[in-house]
Structure 1
């Protein structure tokens, strides 16, 4: 049975929900979730494996998700740097000087930002299902949606199936909570990829739990707006990262095909790339992958 401690911390005017596991004297792993996803997206199975291996683990709800504060984006827009500042506030709130930072998707971009701009706070970096934080996917997406080929040297757009899902999803009715939850489960199914089994029951339990605990479930859409803000700090070269880095990427990632993970690893000195066979963009609804990810993180943070 995991022993957990819930705690709210402040990042400026924003209150962030956090959850800590393990002994505070053990090395800390900070888990940073992806776009629009609550901190509980890091499954208890993974947390338990890390704690059992002798690590303190902290996960948290990004601003605009779960039990953390929501923001009026039109009045107070924010960017990746602000979300990275939230992660630092979480460490400060738990009196952690430096942590092993493990991020997935947007969370991995936040991890890259921290490793570049707040290097003293990052003991190691694990980037799961990520792209270089300075890569603007907009032009590639626009070309793909218009049926045009990718430009030379451009990182690839999502798979046709994922792009078709986006267009179908935009037309689907979402007038009731059940319809919205059904649509979310379908998105997780597509993100799982087409090779490994998809645990729909687990995904549905997760989605329902997220709806139950969110103060404002629609606020998470602000992450897409924040992700489109391209400031100079995001364009800082990843070659400045000195933390030992592990890049984990799925061979079947429909959102960020493997070339994105390869680019992250190529730009960070000494980074190690692990391509996980069959893994899509989100590994935690494919039976067996949570333990695989936990094992890789444990080996990297030893």
Structure 2
């Protein structure tokens, strides 16, 4: 199973509790640091800009490095868009797709974001913008950027608190461990912002219809996601044939709430197990397995 994390977040964004639950369920798990995060190299984006396709190529390179031809792919946030890209363009590498707290890879969220920041009403024909509280948090950070390591750590913990939403308990110690690890391991803490640039770059390959995806797909989305409200996940599920949508009550945009990582792991395990059962049944019917 390949776990693909979201924007500006290293592989440890997949909590140990979630990974252990997958391991206990018989999965072999790979989580990795995107370029510009954790132990991976940092990139001069101005000189060598990259796109979602490049991040997807990184993911396949990780599989190649481990000698894995095909895998269950689970992606969170930007990682969910990367997973969609792989399922659409590299279907032979994807056994199943689990897209968590994400939107359609071909949807440009920029206009809705800009309208909200300008105080304009949402476009009824577009997917909804982030929640006001999240936008207010971004505005505060822009008005008074954190200076120094401790201020940046505190600001990043607060960002995770806002992303968690107001329903589920926020696991602040877990958030702080993640943020401190990112600060300690990253060669350049500013480089992770390049993911925002890559994520908002709309290229032709992102416009491939999601209806072309054939991998069994599960879409998991929280009811209280302040960054990508629930209609984003509903749109992904509506566009991928036979995709299933599981909504998680109270979940925001992240895994930083007690017991939530195990809950998400159990959802992923159930999806991948059902898909494997279906594949084996088809093989038996065709006489290729006993």
TM-score (norm 2): 0.93
Distance 1:235 1:173 in 2: 35
- Higher helix fraction (1 or 2): 2
1:173 positional shift: 4.0
Distance 1:239 1:247 in 2: 14
Distance 2:257 2:97 in 1: 23
| CA RMSD of superposed structures (Å) | 0.8
Distance 1:89 1:76 in 2: 18
Distance 2:104 2:11 in 1: 22
1:145 positional shift: 1.2
Secondary structure of the residue that 1:285 maps to in structure 2? coil
The answer on 1:295 being equivalent to 2:261 is no
The answer on 1:154 being equivalent to 2:126 is yes
Which has the larger displacement, 39-48 or 75-84?
Answer: 39-48
Whose relative contact order is higher, 1 or 2, with alpha carbons under 8 Å and at least 6 apart? 2
Measured against aligned partners, the alpha-carbon deviations of 1:171-228 in whole angstroms (never above 9, x if no partner) come to 2341110000000000000000011110111111211111111121111011111112
5+ residue gaps, structure 1: 1-28
Pairwise mapping of residues 1-40 of structure 1 onto structure 2 (< 5 A)?
A: 29-40=1-12
Paired residues of 1:66 and 1:216 also in contact (CA < 8 A): no
Distance 2:29 2:86 in 1: 18
The answer on 1:207 being equivalent to 2:179 is yes
Pairwise mapping of residues 123-134 of structure 1 onto structure 2 (< 5 A)?
A: 123-134=95-106
The answer on 1:143 being equivalent to 2:107 is no
The answer on 1:95 being equivalent to 2:89 is no
Pairwise mapping of residues 152-231 of structure 1 onto structure 2 (< 5 A)?
A: 152-231=124-203
Measured against aligned partners, the alpha-carbon deviations of 1:8-38 in whole angstroms (never above 9, x if no partner) come to xxxxxxxxxxxxxxxxxxxxx0000000000
The answer on 1:53 being equivalent to 2:25 is yes
Match of 1:118 among 80, 90, 97: 90
Secondary structure of the residue that 2:119 maps to in structure 1? coil
TM-score (norm 1): 0.89
Measured against aligned partners, the alpha-carbon deviations of 1:222-244 in whole angstroms (never above 9, x if no partner) come to 11111121111001100000000
1:120 positional shift: 0.4
Distance 1:173 1:233 in 2: 35
Corresponding residue number in structure 2 for 1:85: 57
